[in-house]
Amino acid sequence: MKNIFNETYESFEDYFKSINDKKYRATQLYDFLYKKRIYNLDLMNNISKSTKEKIKNDYDFSFIKIIKKQEDKDVKKYLFELLDGNRIESVLMYHNYGISLCVSSQVGCNMGCAFCESGRLKKARNLETYEMVEQLILIEEDLNIRITHIVIMGIGEPFDNYDNVMNFIKIITSRKGIDKGIRHITVSTCGIIPGIEKFMHDFNQVNLAISLHAPNNVIRSKIMPINKVYKLPDLIKATKKYVENTNRRITFEYIMLEGINDSNECAKELASLLKDINCYVNLIPYNETENIEFKRTKKVQILAFYDILKKNGINVTIRREFGSNVDAACGQLRAKTH
């Protein structure tokens, strides 16, 4: 039996066709699930009894569970328990432009970035689409809000779970249902080049962020094992191709690690690496955790790094810090969940 929140609008149309029912049932069902947020078939009054019976036989309506919520000013971190007992997290952030949700895409992560708390837990499995959809709907219902922006940047590497993540995007952007703005969705990758190439054809309206974190191949390989597979020069080529093909600006995330990637020389090298790319660099002050020995770059050096990029014509911002009191900041998910 499939979970009902795995299904795109188009797959429901096919389903109703396959049971010799009307295609417009897909609209009715999506309307109940995602506009009215009714999950009990018995309350769906314009669907016939016999159709309801078929849906009941073919689909399961079970939900993951919120088991803990931590709050700190403009951030809320949710811990979920999945049906098999695994746990994942999502982080909600209030900005002046809207409310964003950082969604997890895997249980653990195999990419092994040296600075990342989430990656310390090896991947147990990919999340199914419904487990991502339910992160969103359960938090919206818990707080009675509408989330405006989604970033797929929580635990996991989205391109290592490509099909389920892409189905998730299809479901949440469907006009017939949740209807989030496609341009308000960002997928963040550590640099899986085949994923980038596929993504630019499949979803050229969705934002792409690359976790870059180093200005050259040597430093990147030291802190991001994926760089040994997809090397920095090839990654840069792929990002240029992405920008050319989609006409969209790309974001580079750059975590500032003291003595590792934060010198003035690194800033100059980064500026020269990115000079021909329509991009935006997001400098992220590192959040120190108990288990990892990296140190946060001093504020004065973050500003010096920022100035060098700026003077060299790179669009750059320093990420406002969120949630470090609840371990919800970047790279801190799953630091202390028990």
Where along the sequence are the contacts to ligand SF4 (CB under 6 A)? 109, 111-113, 116, 118-119, 155-157, 190, 211
CB of 107 to ligand SF4, least distance (A): 11
Q: Is 13 a catalytic residue?
A: no
Tokens of 295: 């140190």
Cα separation, 153 vs 155, in Å, equals: 7
Q: Is 290 a catalytic residue?
A: no
> Looking up tokens 């990758």, which residue turns up?
189
Give the CA distances from residue 270 to residues 113, 215, 218, 224, 314, in Å, rounded to whole numbers and listed in that order.
19, 5, 13, 16, 9
In this chain, which residue has its C-beta nearest to ligand SF4?
119
Tell me, what DSSP letter sits at residue 20?
Answer: T
**Are the beta carbons of 174 and 210 closer than 8 angstroms?**
no
Catalytically annotated residue among 89, 117, 128, 131: 89
CB of 310 to ligand SF4, least distance (A): 26
Residue 117 or 134: the one with the smaller Cβ distance to ligand SF4 is 117
Cα separation, 163 vs 183, in Å, equals: 19
Residue 51 or 211: the one with the smaller Cβ distance to ligand SF4 is 211
Other CB atoms within 10 Å distance of the CB of residue 152 = 25
CB of 89 to ligand SF4, least distance (A): 11
CB of 197 to ligand SF4, least distance (A): 18
**Are the beta carbons of 89 and 73 closer than 8 angstroms?**
no
Residue 107 or 190: the one with the smaller Cβ distance to ligand SF4 is 190
Q: Cα–Cα–Cα angle for 277, 185, 141, nearest 5°? A: 160
Residue 41 or 116: the one with the smaller Cβ distance to ligand SF4 is 116
Catalytic residues: 89, 330
